[in-house]
Amino acid sequence: MTFQATRIQQMIEINEELCKGCDICIDFCPMEVLAISESINRRGYYTPEVVKEEKCIGCRLCELVCPEFAITVCNE
């Protein structure tokens, strides 16, 4: 018997204007969904980018730990 696991696709929204490039979300995402990007925001911080959105399990650790409320996870 095989099990079909279904997972709701999560969507990660990053508000680059609030981000200060501290990298906590990148370093602590258990599924390594995020990485440092090449893009710099208005304040000169390298913001994270989503590199493996399909791996996101919606644990929302990034959303809860972010000191600037710059990242949020939702499922559509």
Partner 1 sequence: MNDETIIPGPQRQLKPHRLLKFLRQEILPTTFCPGCGCGTVLNSFAQAVEELRIDPKDMVFVTGIGCSSWIPSPYFKGDTLHTTHGRPIAFATGVKIMRPDLKVVVIAGDGDIAGIGGNHLVHAARRNIDMTVLMVNNWNYGMTGGQVSPTTPFGVATTTTPYENVEHPLEAAELVAAAGANYVSRWTTYHVFPLMESIQRALEIDGFSFIEILSQCPVSYGKMVDMRKASDFLKFYRDRSVRIHKAREMSAEQLEGRIVVGKLVERQRTEFAASLRRINERFREDEPVRER
What is the contact surface with partner 1 in residues (CB under 8 A)? 11, 13, 15, 17-24, 27-28, 43, 45, 61, 63-72, 74
Q: Least distance in Å: CB of 1 to partner 1?
A: 33
Q: Which two tokens stand for residue 58?
A: 């919606």
Name which of 27 and 32 has its Cβ closer to partner 1.
Answer: 27
User: Distance between CA atoms of 27 and 2, rounded to whole angstroms?
Assistant: 34
Q: How far is CA 48 from the centre of its chain?
A: 7
Q: Least distance in Å: CB of 22 to partner 1?
A: 3
Q: How far is CA 50 from the centre of its chain?
A: 6
